[in-house]
Each structure stands twice: as structure tokens, then as C-alpha cells.
């Protein structure tokens, strides 16, 4: 079998020992143009692997088609490398900003190429352990290299292979989107993929965008020593979060030295002698921003352009993302989809969840046995420091849906562990249904919020109330105690309670 080399998209070919084995096996086989599988999965990331593994657990023979490096966005260009660099940048920043008196940390020297090299080694290790070793050990999955394109309702062409399938799952993911601003054709710019491979630290960086990719990238490069400016079109950064959280994170980024402008309208971009210029309208005035580097963090576009979806009647939305129903089935019966290419919640956990459901539904005996996707208790996080994490409905979304709600916001200075570790930045907000006090949303801006939010998941999945949270006993002192303290604030003045009071 052939191991995927080349770029998805912009990633260099990386052959491993396992891939060499696949190539040798393929070299000894005649090209088969009539390959038959129970399920054909197009893609090689988390959604695709979850689908393929689930299908083999059901006894299916699976073809996996990948045009680039195995592992998808999360492993190669997203979650793993970015969180690795966020942690490295945090540690490097301690010499300039740490909260404990009596400790003096000498200013360190940054070897960005060395940091990036270690990140690349981690990605390579996880690719081997979590993907290539699985392919080697699972004899029911066969991997094909190359772009897959539908040539009929039951066939895809991948390289020289014609692969027939009883059912199909499209899990080709998405890639960074480049907005066609005026003048962009003459400007060298980075995206979230290429920025993670820089070997030299930029002196200055302008980031277009203000959602999770933008703020994480801003903090990475700012803490390494780059002068960073964020230009966000909407009136708030991370605008889908609670307003208190958006406002708080903006303040903390600015305290870190990051310049943040919201409500900006980019008019034109240009480049001269390596210096990038962005002309933008800010609060009705034209302003120029200059930097040595421009990073575009303006969303994603789906990887569907070569699939020939029109030929089989798979519909896409105005952004090109594949339309799917609650069973992850497309407009073409027997063709399912999963992950970022489906345009829903673009999280690796959701991609894997959708992939598994798509596989079970694709192989189900009858449509009456199909499973529905359920996104009510899906948590997400932004790994800035402090973290942002959320699950369930924001207060405004709950009101839009017709709920009568009440909410409480607790400042992190009321959490003893936060004070003990000298990082009491942030807040927690709990949204509850007025009549029943059932918790329908938990939203956090705080150190380790991404770890604490799992409490919120369980609260929402189990329809727990504010009183249920108050009645549990927490370990003291912990940051997760913030959930109970916020619940107590529905009834009491937290400032008047002793430690661990109920």
C-alpha cells in the first residue's frame, strides 16, 4: 500500500519505516482497477480514522484515501503543534513576567528553530503511534495515496486505482482561508499552517482575525518577543463567547503587550521592501498598520474542490461545506460526511464523534437504526493563558431559544487556589434555567479552564441543578472549586463565606 506523502495542504512529505513497508508491498502488486470495499473513507484525519476504526469493529473492509500526510489538521497543523508552542512561549515569558517575589529568572535566549524542531519531532512521534501503527495493525483498513474523485455513484478514482464502495464517508477536512483583500496578490502572508513552521522570529506581526486561531497565535509570538497587532472585524474578539469573557481576554492580551483593535474594516494590504502595510478603517478613521509579517487567521475553507461532488449529487452550502442531516448523511443516499468538511463545529473531538456515527449509520441494516448526532454538551477551549472554555448555551443564545434564565459571574479572585498560585485572572459564568435552576451553560476564562470545563459537561449531560453543584464536596484548594463557588453565588455573598463553607 502507498503511504501518503506530499502536503495537506502545505506539509512536506515525511516517509516513515511503516510507509516504506506499504510502498514495497504496492511495488509487488499489479494495479487493480476493480477494488471492492464495504466502506470507502476519503480523508486521513481524526474523522476519517474514527470512521475507519469503527467500521472495522463492525466487520467491514475499509479503503482509506488520503492525498497528503496522515493525521489531519489536529495533529499536523492544529491542536498538537500549537499547544506545544503555546506552552513553550509561556515558559519563555517567565523571565519577563512571573508573579512571585524573591525569584529572579535570567532573560533566556530563544532558538526558535530548535523549538520548532522539537515540535516537529512530537508530531512525527504521534503520527506514528496514533495513525501509522494503527494502519499497520488493522488488516481491515487499506490505505491509498492520492486525490480521490468520484467517477460514479459507487466508484472513486485514486491515482491509478478505481475503488468501488457500498458506502462512502467524506472526511477531507478544511484548510486556512485566504480572504481576497485588495492588494493581497502582491503580499507574502502566513496562515495558521505556515506560521507554525517559522524558523526565525518575526520582529513584528499583524494578525487579521480575532477568533481562536488569531488569539492563540498572537500569544505565542508575543511571548517569544514579536510585537503583535490584532485587527478584528467584529466589535469583540472571540465574539461567540460570553461578552464578559471576550472583554476580559482582550484586557489580558493587552496587558501582555499585544495591540488589539476591534471593529476594523481592512481596506487594502501592500508590501514594500519586506514591510507589510494594512490600511484599515477603525472607528470611522483610516489607519495604517505596519509589520514585518502578516498572518491571516480568517477562517477555513473546505477541501472539496477535487472530489467531483456534482457528479453524484452531493450538495454543498454557500461556503462549499458539505450539507448533512442529523445522521451525517449527505443529499446523496449512501454517502456520508464528517468533520470540518461538513462545516459544523470544527473541533477534533467533534470530527471523531461524527466519524464514528457516520460509520455506524453507513453500515446500518436499515435507516430506522440510524443514530443522531447530539451537540448539546460539546465543550470547546481556547488555549491562551488564561484559557477560555465553554460548554452549553451562552446567556444570549439561551434567551434566543426561549429560555427564561438567570446567571451568575464569579471573579477568580474569590477562588483560593488561584490566589495561591498568583494567577487570579478571569471569571466563571454559570447560566441556569430560571424555573428549574437546571444548568444549561458554563463559561470560563481562567487558568486551566480547559481542564475544569469537563465538570460543566457532566452538569449539562446529567441535567444537574445549581443546588446539585452546591451539595458536592470538592478537593481544597483547587481551581475546579470555582464551579461550586459560582453555584453558591446564586444564593450567597461569596465574599462573606469562609473557606469551604457550604
Tens of pLDDT, residue by residue over 125-141, are 999 999 999 999 999 99
Q: List CB contacts of 160: < 8 A, sequence separation 6 or more.
A: 31, 33
Tens of pLDDT, residue by residue over 146-204, are 999 999 999 999 999 999 999 999 999 999 999 999 999 999 999 999 999 999 999 99
What CATH number is given to the structural domain containing 455? 3.30.390.30
Q: Is the backbone of residue 148 left (phi > 0), alpha (psi -120 to 50) or beta? A: beta
For residue 32, the model assigns a pLDDT of 58
Let me know whether 40 and 168 are in one domain: yes
Confidence of residue 64 (pLDDT cuts 50, 70, 90): very high
**279 is a domain residue:** yes
Average pLDDT over residues 406-432: 98
Helix (H, G, I), strand (E, B) or coil at 448: coil
Q: Can you give the residue range of the structural domain that contains 260?
A: 184-298
194 and 170 Cβ atoms separated by less than 8 Å: no
For residue 108, the model assigns a pLDDT of 87
For residue 24, the model assigns a pLDDT of 39
The DSSP string of 102-148 is T--PPPP---HHHHHHHHHHHHHHHHIIIIIHHHHH-TTEEEEES-E
Let me know whether 311 and 162 are in one domain: yes
What distance in Å separates the CA atoms of residue 264 and residue 248, rounded to the nearest whole number? 19
**Phi/psi at 108 (nearest 5 deg)?**
-85, 170
**What is the CA 312 to chain-centroid distance, rounded?**
30
Q: Does the pLDDT value for residue 23 go beyond 90?
A: no
- Helical H runs in 197-239? 212-224
What is the rounded average pLDDT for all residues in the chain? 93
User: How is residue 23 written as a grid cell?
Assistant: 510502498
Let me know whether 337 and 388 are in one domain: no
Let me know whether 392 and 451 are in one domain: yes
Tens of pLDDT, residue by residue over 400-410, are 999 999 999 99
**374 is a domain residue:** no
For residue 5, the model assigns a pLDDT of 32
Average pLDDT over residues 312-336: 97
Confidence of residue 317 (pLDDT cuts 50, 70, 90): very high
User: How is residue 220 written as a grid cell?
Assistant: 505565542
Domain boundary among the residues 245, 278, 298 is at 298
For residue 31, the model assigns a pLDDT of 53
488 and 470 Cβ atoms separated by less than 8 Å: yes
Longest dimension (CA), the chain: 78
**344 is a domain residue:** yes
For residue 204, the model assigns a pLDDT of 98
Let me know whether 331 and 230 are in one domain: no
Q: Does the pLDDT value for residue 459 go beyond 50?
A: yes
**Phi/psi at 109 (nearest 5 deg)?**
-110, 135
Please tell me which residue, 492 or 2, carries the higher pLDDT value: 492
Let me know whether 280 and 384 are in one domain: no
410 and 485 Cβ atoms separated by less than 8 Å: yes
Q: List CB contacts of 239: < 8 A, sequence separation 6 or more.
A: 210, 211, 246
**What is the CA 40 to chain-centroid distance, rounded?**
25
What CATH number is given to the structural domain containing 54? 3.50.50.60
Portion of the chain with pLDDT greater than 70, in percent = 93
467 and 437 Cβ atoms separated by less than 8 Å: yes
Total domains present in the chain:
3
Confidence of residue 10 (pLDDT cuts 50, 70, 90): very low
Average pLDDT over residues 426-433: 98
**255 is a domain residue:** yes
Q: List CB contacts of 83: < 8 A, sequence separation 6 or more.
A: 383
For residue 502, the model assigns a pLDDT of 81
Let me know whether 271 and 309 are in one domain: no
Q: Which residue has cell 487558568?
A: 447
Is it true that the peptide bond before 469 is cis, omega within 30 degrees of 0? no
Q: Does the pLDDT value for residue 473 go beyond 60?
A: yes
**7 is a domain residue:** no
For residue 366, the model assigns a pLDDT of 85
**8 is a domain residue:** no
For residue 30, the model assigns a pLDDT of 46
**420 is a domain residue:** yes
For residue 2, the model assigns a pLDDT of 32
Positive or negative, the CA dihedral 206, 220, 111, 12 is negative
Let me know whether 125 and 218 are in one domain: no
User: How is residue 90 written as a grid cell?
Assistant: 509561556
Let me know whether 137 and 150 are in one domain: yes
Tens of pLDDT, residue by residue over 255-297, are 999 999 999 999 999 999 989 999 999 988 999 999 999 999 9
Let me know whether 214 and 329 are in one domain: no
Domain boundary among the residues 332, 350, 369 is at 369
Confidence of residue 367 (pLDDT cuts 50, 70, 90): confident
What distance in Å separates the CA atoms of residue 15 and residue 70, rounded to the nearest whole number? 11
What distance in Å separates the CA atoms of residue 294 and residue 206, rounded to the nearest whole number? 5
167 and 336 Cβ atoms separated by less than 8 Å: yes
What distance in Å separates the CA atoms of residue 229 and residue 259, rounded to the nearest whole number? 5
For residue 27, the model assigns a pLDDT of 40
**1 is a domain residue:** no
429 and 408 Cβ atoms separated by less than 8 Å: yes
Tens of pLDDT, residue by residue over 86-119, are 999 999 999 888 999 999 999 889 999 999 999 9
Q: Which residue has cell 478603517?
A: 281
Tens of pLDDT, residue by residue over 233-251, are 999 999 999 999 999 999 9
Domain boundary among the residues 267, 283, 298 is at 298
Let me know whether 306 and 294 are in one domain: no
Let me know whether 168 and 80 are in one domain: yes
Burial class (CB in 10 A: 0-12, 13-18, 19+), 329: buried
What distance in Å separates the CA atoms of residue 394 and residue 459, rounded to the nearest whole number? 15
User: How is residue 397 written as a grid cell?
Assistant: 443564545
User: How is residue 174 written as a grid cell?
Assistant: 478544511
For residue 365, the model assigns a pLDDT of 87
For residue 358, the model assigns a pLDDT of 98
Give the CA angle between residues 1, 359, 139 to the nearest 5°.
Answer: 30
Amino acid at each position: 500500500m502507498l503511504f501518503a506523502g506530499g502536503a495537506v495542504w502545505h506539509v512536506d512529505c515525511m516517509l516513515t519505516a511503516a510507509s516504506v513497508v506499504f510502498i514495497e508491498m504496492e511495488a509487488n502488486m499489479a494495479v487493480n482497477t476493480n477494488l471492492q470495499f464495504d466502506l470507502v473513507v476519503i480523508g486521513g484525519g481524526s474523522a476519517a480514522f474514527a470512521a475507519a476504526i469503527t467500521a472495522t469493529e463492525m466487520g467491514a473492509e475499509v479503503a482509506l484515501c488520503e492525498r497528503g500526510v496522515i493525521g489531519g489538521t489536529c495533529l499536523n497543523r492544529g491542536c498538537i503543534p500549537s499547544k506545544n508552542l503555546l506552552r513553550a512561549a509561556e515558559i519563555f515569558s517567565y523571565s519577563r513576567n512571573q508573579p512571585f517575589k524573591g525569584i529572579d529568572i535570567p532573560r533566556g535566549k530563544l532558538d526558535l528553530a530548535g523549538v520548532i524542531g522539537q515540535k516537529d519531532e512530537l508530531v512525527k512521534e504521534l503520527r506514528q503511534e496514533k495513525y501509522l501503527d494503527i494502519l499497520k495493525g488493522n488488516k481491515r483498513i487499506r490505505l491509498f495515496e492520492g486525490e480521490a474523485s468520484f467517477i460514479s455513484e459507487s466508484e472513486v478514482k485514486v491515482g491509478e486505482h478505481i475503488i468501488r464502495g457500498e458506502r462512502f464517508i467524506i472526511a477531507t477536512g478544511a484548510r486556512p482561508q485566504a480572504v481576497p483583500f485588495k492588494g493581497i496578490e502582491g503580499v507574502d502572508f502566513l496562515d495558521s499552517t505556515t506560521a507554525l513552521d517559522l524558523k526565525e522570529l518575526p520582529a513584528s506581526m499583524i494578525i487579521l482575525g480575532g477568533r481562536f486561531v488569531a488569539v492563540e497565535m498572537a500569544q505565542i509570538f508575543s511571548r517569544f518577543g514579536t510585537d503583535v497587532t490584532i485587527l478584528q472585524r467584529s466589535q469583540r474578539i472571540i465574539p461567540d463567547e460570553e461578552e464578559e469573557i471576550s472583554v476580559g481576554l482582550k484586557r489580558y492580551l493587552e496587558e501582555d503587550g499585544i495591540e488589539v483593535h476591534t471593529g476594523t474594516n481592512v481596506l487594502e494590504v501592500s508590501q514594500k521592501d519586506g514591510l507589510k502595510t494594512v490600511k484599515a478603517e477603525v472607528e470611522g478613521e483610516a489607519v495604517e498598520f505596519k509589520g514585518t509579517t502578516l498572518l491571516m487567521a480568517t477562517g477555513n475553507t473546505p477541501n472539496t474542490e477535487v472530489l467531483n461532488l456534482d457528479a453524484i449529487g452531493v450538495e454543498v452550502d454557500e461556503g462549499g461545506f458539505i450539507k448533512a442531516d442529523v445522521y451525517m448523511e449527505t443529499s446523496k443516499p449512501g454517502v456520508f460526511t464528517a468533520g470540518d468538511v461538513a462545516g459544523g463545529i470544527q473541533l477534533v473531538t467533534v470530527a471523531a464523534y461524527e466519524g464514528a456515527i457516520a460509520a455506524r449509520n453507513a453500515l446500518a441494516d436499515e435507516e430506522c437504526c440510524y443514530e443522531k448526532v447530539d451537540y448539546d454538551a460539546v465543550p470547546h477551549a481556547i488555549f491562551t493563558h488564561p484559557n477560555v472554555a465553554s460548554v452549553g448555551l451562552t446567556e444570549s443564545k439561551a434567551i434566543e431559544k426561549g429560555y427564561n434564565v438567570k446567571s451568575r459571574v464569579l471573579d477568580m479572585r474569590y477562588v483560593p487556589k488561584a490566589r495561591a498560585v498568583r494567577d487570579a485572572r478571569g471569571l466563571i459564568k454559570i447560566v441556569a434555567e430560571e424555573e428549574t435552576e437546571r444548568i444549561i451553560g458554563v463559561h470560563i476564562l481562567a487558568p486551566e479552564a480547559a481542564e475544569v470545563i469537563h465538570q460543566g459537561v457532566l452538569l449539562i449531560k446529567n441535567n444537574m441543578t445549581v443546588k446539585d453543584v452546591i451539595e458536592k464536596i470538592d478537593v481544597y484548594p483547587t481551581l475546579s472549586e470555582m464551579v461550586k463557588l459560582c453555584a453558591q453565588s446564586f444564593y450567597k455573598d461569596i465574599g462573606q463565606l469562609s473557606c469551604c463553607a457550604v
